[in-house]
Structures are given as C-alpha cells and as structure tokens.
Amino acid sequence: MARAATTSDVFNAIAEPRRRQIIDLLGSNGDQAVNDLVGALRLPQPAVSKHLHVLRRVRLVSASRRGRHRVYRLNPKELKTVHDWVKHYERFWTHQISRIKERAEQRARESHTQPPEPPRSKSQTQEQP
C-alpha cells in the first residue's frame, strides 16, 4: 500500500505546511478569495487551488462564489479531531507538578507490565537514531 491520500484524513491534510499556512491565513484574516491567498503565500495560483481542493475534501474549508471570485472560509471545527487526540499529551509539558506525577505513574505502569527480567551482564544502552 502507498501512503494514505492527503484527502483521506484531517491529519494527512494538515501535514503539508502550505496548507497549515492557508488555514492560518483564513483564521486570522477571515474569508479570502484565491488570489488573496496567492498574494500572501507567494505561490502560483494552481498550487493554491490544489491545496484548497484538498482542504475542501476534508471539510476544513468551504467555498462560495462571489462574483467571479471564489471565497474560501475556514471551518475550524474539523480541527477538533486533531486537538482531541493531541490534548491527551498536554500534561506532559505543561506544569512541573503534572510532570512529576506523570513520571511516577510511568514507573508504576512499568513495574506492572514489565516483570523483572533475569540479571543481564550488559545492561541497557541509550541509542541514537
């Protein structure tokens, strides 16, 4: 199997930095026509249209005609999926107290799931990628 389509998922759609940039622009400046985004992103128009196409497939944006322009609007609710997933890990970097607590729980989990193995001569080694 190849990599999942960018349109298969919000996670895949926002993996592309340009698309996050588009989201940010629509979020901070409000609705925009394609050419406004082209100007801001300094990217050829077809590229922008293609990115918008992906974002529309996953419903992160919606489009409406306005004269000859096509105005895009952010639909931020679709980002909730991402937020919901990643917020579980928020506690790991927020407050010192939570972090200390986390480490204790971590150790507890380890001692539950990892029954002490027989002693080993060469013990654990930290590795770099």
Partner DNA sequence: AGATTGTATTCCCATAAGAGAATATGTCAA
Partner DNA sequence: TTGACATATTCTCTTATGGGAATACAATCT
The reply on whether position 79 binds its own copies by CB under 8 A is yes
Instruction: Give the integer Cα–Cα distance in Å for 12 and 63.
Output: 20
Instruction: Give the integer Cα–Cα distance in Å for 119 and 129.
Output: 26
Q: Which stretch binds DNA (CB under 7 A): 3-11, 21-29, 80-88, 91-99?
A: 3-11
Q: Which of 66, 67, 56 shows the shortest CA–CA distance to 22?
A: 56
The reply on whether position 120 binds DNA by CB under 7 A is yes
| Residue 63 or 79 having the CB closest to DNA | 63
Instruction: Give the integer Cα–Cα distance in Å for 85 and 80.
Output: 8
Instruction: Give the integer Cα–Cα distance in Å for 65 and 72.
Output: 9
The reply on whether position 65 binds DNA by CB under 7 A is yes
Q: Contacts with DNA in 86-115 (CB under 7 A)?
A: none
Residues 82/14, Cβ–Cβ less than 8 Å:
yes
Instruction: Give the integer Cα–Cα distance in Å for 31 and 36.
Output: 10
String marking each residue 23-42 x if it binds DNA according to CB under 7 A: ----------xxx--x----
By CB under 8 A, name the binding residues for its own copies. Answer: 3-4, 6, 9, 11-12, 14-17, 20, 27, 29-32, 53, 56-57, 59, 62-67, 71, 76-77, 79-80, 82-83, 85-90, 92-93, 106, 109-110, 113-114, 117, 120, 122-127, 129
